[in-house]
Structure 1
């Protein structure tokens, strides 16, 4: 802890750095994705994403990472919202169909188990795989809902983080000064939400009023304390700041997407046992803002409890299994959403030919709504630099459901990935 405090004092200390003192390691990743809709022609799309990155070694215990994100797509609406980003993080438009975004820009000091990180970064504070129980510190890219390559696809934000070991515990503190919220699909996009639960309770056939986005300017701060114990870890965490998921509010100025403050207290646990890894998360949000189903876009605060359990298991024959179930409960009547959502995920994965060919199949279901999606895929690592992936997103359920609202968006996709 003394080393960490001393490092904070070094941040403001001037230093002379010459070109000979710096070592840079540039990297580049290019991802091209083609999608063919099986139900709706509008689901067809082609996109390319470029991720240039540089890792820079500086004198002493300092290093820096800089990463950019360039996206181009054949329909600019499918790039997602820009107004949900704070001005300091908002992507820059490059013509009508492309954007440039700072994906990462950090400078880090390390010594022993202590670390200070300043800049644009992500804060992954959960142990489950894609089920967000305590992992709600970062906003996510949701312009394709859950039908994405990596879930959640976190959006980095500007802030500071301090990590250190002390008193037999691992301490992790975060301060975020960036009010960026979840990136959403734009109106008319195939993955724009239509279920009443995402429209403030307004019926699906009711016209949605013109919305303005009222992004929060309040900071977020949090603390995570982990107690390692052999093969298991137990973590207590808490944070307070603006909600990253929007609510719809109605006042004299019209309808607005707003992001009220809320607090979260949580527990994480994970344990390794041979070929199995068990994980669990529990969270309590005592002041969750939520819309009510009265047609007036009314918002009140209610207790919210979330929990989830997951298992990673390496089976015989090299088959990897990941199974999870999560519960999300909000107290109260006449909410725009069910009081309780129950989500389950099941993924099987198998590799062949020295890991150059890998098959995967994922099943995601919303047990309360009776909807879900089946997502098989196949990956071929052609060389160290080139990878080819192909898959299917098959969706079913009611158009009022969490997943079923995208029932018309069944699709096949092909992805080429080049890394250098």
Structure 2
């Protein structure tokens, strides 16, 4: 953990890093054939009592080259140093990640991660992407339905952008046209799973919807999950079919994968409660649609999952969890008919196939999101407001942010996040974790 003296020194450290990186050679000085771009980010966030939440320096570099007309190579690397050390205290064990997808940890505060490294190849009408990448299905914002191909980091709960919170995977994606239909075939040998914050993290999991509470007077032992490791037999496979039919963008999606979140199995003796995480296979079958009507865009996603894990009171089920099917959908409405303004509303619902006695979650879960963005000064400034609410429990959060471009490559921003509602809910568990922050970004 970072001492208070070290914490007070974070502005000097960040400024020193910025000065050093500003002196780095520009892209033409590295190689004519390689285009290098990047960003430097500084962020400070505090809770409402003045305690530090985030004190982060970030550097992201991207290199692109096209040695042949049919081949493009892309690499993206990210360095982060968080002097607050609250989001992931200490050093995470990373047992949930495939060895080739793990981060290089720099003490308790820093990390270097190869975010993406892939080759884009075009052979006749076939497009192939091979390497470490993000595969994005669906268009839902804030919460997910179809976008489950890549696991997610929850160290900032669901407040981080999806592009940043997704864990890129070593995989192959091939897009093959069949008339008016494009088929995308996916093969993922990378068995990495969701990053779940430790209990002592700022956004550590506390809700019984995910983890049952400890038994008073008994030792709690959480075993390491046995991550599947067979290269072919344990790989994920999927296919997505997309087509434009009239004014409708349609897709059919199928994915055979391991659930990104494990099933937590509980066992108890006279002195100890043991929790054993296990990753289980699931079939996902779904689809999406979107169409435009004047200033409106109507969109939706639907997905059926087998073998989803849900917590159950141990008085009803000694293992504390069961596997059953889940049907999820989202309906979204986007509106851009007001000058310099974008408004989006989404309704999410999920239904459990077998709602057994003692199950912690409701048979039907309903969430709603509201988002509005307003730009000013020829798009140099913007204000965003986001609300995510569970309509059953009444828990949620509100995020208000503002951003302004000081120049072509310097942007300053600020945000405040307030949580509310039932402390046992997935969002309400953080109702004492309100915070505000500022950030500065330099383009390279």
| TM-score, normalised by the number of residues in structure 2 | 0.84
- In 2: Cα distance, 1:113 partner to 1:272 partner: 28
**Counterpart contact for 1:201–1:297, Cα < 8 Å:** no
| Aligned residue in 2 for 1:283 | 303
CA offsets 1:261-317 (integer angstroms, 9 cap, x no match): 111000100112221111101111133233322163344321210011001110323
CA offsets 1:200-252 (integer angstroms, 9 cap, x no match): 46579987533423323321110000121243211111001111112212469
Question: Quick check: 144-153 or 316-325, which moved more?
Answer: 144-153
What SS does the corresponding residue of 2:148 show, helix, strand or coil?
A: coil
Say if 1:183 and 1:405 are closer, same or farther in 2 by CA, change over 3 A. Answer: same
Say if 1:399 and 1:63 are closer, same or farther in 2 by CA, change over 3 A. Answer: same
| Aligned residue in 2 for 1:61 | 70
**Counterpart contact for 1:282–1:306, Cα < 8 Å:** yes
Matches within 5 A, 1:93-104: 93-104=105-116
Say if 1:205 and 1:98 are closer, same or farther in 2 by CA, change over 3 A. Answer: farther
Match of 2:134 among 87, 102, 122: 122
Match of 2:284 among 256, 264, 268: 264
- Once the two structures are TM-superposed, the CA of residue 395 in structure 1 deviates from its matched residue by 0.9
Match of 1:360 among 375, 384, 391: 384
**Counterpart contact for 2:399–2:416, Cα < 8 Å:** yes
| Aligned residue in 2 for 1:155 | 167
**Counterpart contact for 1:201–1:291, Cα < 8 Å:** no
- In 2: Cα distance, 1:278 partner to 1:166 partner: 26
| Aligned residue in 2 for 1:375 | 399
| Aligned residue in 2 for 1:191 | 203
- In 2: Cα distance, 1:248 partner to 1:121 partner: 29
| Aligned residue in 1 for 2:19 | none
- In 1: Cα distance, 2:218 partner to 2:303 partner: 34
| Aligned residue in 2 for 1:105 | 117
Say if 1:414 and 1:204 are closer, same or farther in 2 by CA, change over 3 A. Answer: farther
Question: Quick check: 135-144 or 288-297, which moved more?
Answer: 288-297
- In 1: Cα distance, 2:167 partner to 2:73 partner: 19
| Aligned residue in 1 for 2:369 | 345
Say if 1:199 and 1:42 are closer, same or farther in 2 by CA, change over 3 A. Answer: farther
Question: Quick check: 125-134 or 72-81, which moved more?
Answer: 72-81
**Counterpart contact for 1:35–1:43, Cα < 8 Å:** yes
**Counterpart contact for 1:171–1:226, Cα < 8 Å:** yes
| Aligned residue in 2 for 1:307 | 329
| Aligned residue in 1 for 2:34 | 24
**Counterpart contact for 1:196–1:202, Cα < 8 Å:** no
Say if 1:398 and 1:208 are closer, same or farther in 2 by CA, change over 3 A. Answer: farther
- In 2: Cα distance, 1:108 partner to 1:317 partner: 38
**Counterpart contact for 1:262–1:289, Cα < 8 Å:** no
Tell me, which stretches of 5 or more residues in structure 2 are unaligned?
1-30
**Counterpart contact for 1:399–1:407, Cα < 8 Å:** yes
| Aligned residue in 1 for 2:185 | 173
Say if 1:312 and 1:71 are closer, same or farther in 2 by CA, change over 3 A. Answer: same
Match of 1:45 among 54, 59, 76: 54
**Counterpart contact for 1:373–1:395, Cα < 8 Å:** yes
Say if 1:90 and 1:97 are closer, same or farther in 2 by CA, change over 3 A. Answer: same
Q: How many residues align?
A: 399
Say if 1:211 and 1:292 are closer, same or farther in 2 by CA, change over 3 A. Answer: same
- In 2: Cα distance, 1:373 partner to 1:130 partner: 11
Question: Quick check: 59-68 or 299-308, which moved more?
Answer: 299-308
| Aligned residue in 1 for 2:410 | 386
| Aligned residue in 2 for 1:329 | 351
**Counterpart contact for 1:284–1:303, Cα < 8 Å:** yes
Match of 1:294 among 310, 314, 328: 314
What SS does the corresponding residue of 1:26 show, helix, strand or coil?
A: strand
Say if 1:158 and 1:251 are closer, same or farther in 2 by CA, change over 3 A. Answer: farther
**Counterpart contact for 1:214–1:256, Cα < 8 Å:** no
| Aligned residue in 1 for 2:228 | 216
Say if 1:338 and 1:278 are closer, same or farther in 2 by CA, change over 3 A. Answer: same
- In 2: Cα distance, 1:230 partner to 1:384 partner: 40
Say if 1:36 and 1:374 are closer, same or farther in 2 by CA, change over 3 A. Answer: same
What SS does the corresponding residue of 2:240 show, helix, strand or coil?
A: strand
